[in-house]
Amino acid sequence: MTDVIKKQAGPMAVMCLCFIFFSMTFTVTPVCGDEEQESETVRVNIERKTLEKVFTNTGDIYHVSDATLIVGTDGKQVSMRDLMAPCQAKVYFDFENGKRKATYIKIISVASDAAWQWVSERPE
């Protein structure tokens, strides 16, 4: 009888740990400071970029910082330098001081004429 218990204890422990882990995964809510923040999500065409902003085909501007996570079509993280434009993306953002601050950018597809080039905001 004790051999049966010992053989079943391992798989039962693993199942219990998996249950606890997955339960926690779906119940944890991200909190920033003492306030909960909900990010808004939009699907946009990013037409061009600067060092700190991306510009969409609708004229919207999303501010980007070092904290912004950018993920390419292959699921790997890319830097702002490696973000190619134009591209289609899903942008998660919050409003901060009346500006759209991108928290996460997921690249969906990249245009065939896309480039890594930056644009200047200064008139030339």
pTM to 2 decimals?
A: 0.67
Residue ranges per structural domain of the chain? 2-31, 36-115
In this prediction, the residues of the chain whose per-residue pLDDT falls under 50 are 16-36, 124
pLDDT at 28: 36
Give the 3-state secondary structure of the chain: CHHHHHHHHHHHHHHHHHHHHHHHHHHCCCEECCEECCCEEEEEEEEEECCCEEEECCCCEEECCCCCEEECCCCCECCCCCCCEEEEEEEEEEEECCEEEEEEEEEEEEEEEEECCCCCCCCC
Q: What is the pLDDT of residue 71?
A: 97
- The class of domain 36-115 in CATH terms is mainly beta
